[in-house]
Structure 1
Amino acid sequence: MTQRDLVQYYIVNKELNMSPGKIAAQVAHAATISTLDILSPTSRFATHKEDFVEWYQTGMKKVILKGRQKDLEKLEKLEYYAIHDSGRTEIASGSLTVIVLPPMPKSLGKEIVGYLALL
């Protein structure tokens, strides 16, 4: 079997000016929520489960990108995983902090978020 280049993309809202620690916590929330959902039998991304397993077995490659509020809102409307902050520390409650896509072939990810820059 040929190994595919599978990647999970995280898009951080650069307009919120979060500290590095806050960004790390929000990305960790995104990783946890997306993993639990993909492994759930009722996941809306159940078709990605095979990609998830292969991605896990091949090193769990992740790419962290930065986007504007409108970029994240566009991806949220496509029903990718959206993380909204609880407002306990640096930013307002309900702020859209991170969008995460399920693991997918890099070529597909580039079609969806290839216009965004690395964080």
Structure 2
Amino acid sequence: MGIIASNSYLMGIATGSFLGITATYIVLRFKGINNPPEAVPIEERFEFPDPKDEYRLIMAIRNDLKMQKGKVAAQCGHASVAAYAKALKLKPKTLQRWLRYGGTKITVKVDNEEDLLNLDRAAKEIGVLSSIVRDAGQTQVAPGSRTVIAIGPAPKSVLDRITGHLKLY
């Protein structure tokens, strides 16, 4: 009786495991989790098509908020991820060109929120993507504060028309 019971027990575990793995595979397969969204292909070569007009992402940081370095870094991280996501959805060829140039990111200063919003308007007027980051307000700034704007990715010549007058951060 002990041998029969232990064999039945092992058979039950094996059958249950097999059914569980099979069911999980089927569910994930039909929900598309095993099929991640298409990534933008990146060439391994770093030959720049036009080095005079490389694609860049500009991040303008509000200077009046007096954020600490770590806070600025986090806000710029949010801005670059938002810009990437927006470009992936709306301008995938532009994103691919930017990545071909190494994903260059440049930070500049703006004096206040009004200047940040003016940059957003200027970018929209000429068809350049922009993403404004609003802080959750759990650390250094008030909730909902606009901290950084990401402009681009776009060619340097186009970005210079929007942000060329700003100083590096």
Give TM-score, length-normalised by structure 2: 0.62
Equivalent-residue separation in structure 2 for 1:10 and 1:21 (angstroms): 15
Determine the structure 2 residue equivalent to 1:88.
Answer: 138
Paired residue secondary structure (1:118): coil
Equivalent-residue separation in structure 1 for 2:154 and 2:88 (angstroms): 15
State the shift of 1:58 in Å. 2.0
State the shift of 1:75 in Å. 2.2
Paired residue secondary structure (1:73): helix
Paired residue secondary structure (1:10): strand
CA-based RMSD of the aligned residues comes to: 1.6
Does the alignment pair 1:7 with 2:56?
Answer: yes
Tell whether the 8 Å contact from 2:61 to 2:108 is kept in structure 1 after alignment: yes
Determine the structure 2 residue equivalent to 1:30.
Answer: 79
Paired residue secondary structure (1:64): strand
Equivalent-residue separation in structure 1 for 2:142 and 2:136 (angstroms): 8
Pairing of 1:1-119 with structure 2 (within 5 A): 2-3=49-50, 4-40=53-89, 46=90, 48-69=91-112, 70-78=114-122, 79=124, 80-119=130-169
Equivalent-residue separation in structure 2 for 1:92 and 1:117 (angstroms): 25
Equivalent-residue separation in structure 1 for 2:168 and 2:99 (angstroms): 22
Equivalent-residue separation in structure 1 for 2:155 and 2:87 (angstroms): 16
State the shift of 1:5 in Å. 1.1
* Unaligned 5+ runs, structure 1: 41-45
Q: Identical aligned pairs, as a percentage?
A: 30
Displaced runs of 4+ in structure 1, greater than 6 A?
none
Equivalent-residue separation in structure 1 for 2:121 and 2:158 (angstroms): 18
Paired residue secondary structure (1:102): strand
Equivalent-residue separation in structure 2 for 1:29 and 1:2 (angstroms): 29
Higher radius of gyration, 1 or 2: 2
Equivalent-residue separation in structure 2 for 1:76 and 1:6 (angstroms): 18
* Unaligned 5+ runs, structure 2: 1-47, 125-129
Equivalent-residue separation in structure 1 for 2:119 and 2:156 (angstroms): 17
State the shift of 1:93 in Å. 0.6
Aligned residues: 113
Q: Which has the higher contact order (CA 8 A, sep 6+)?
A: 1
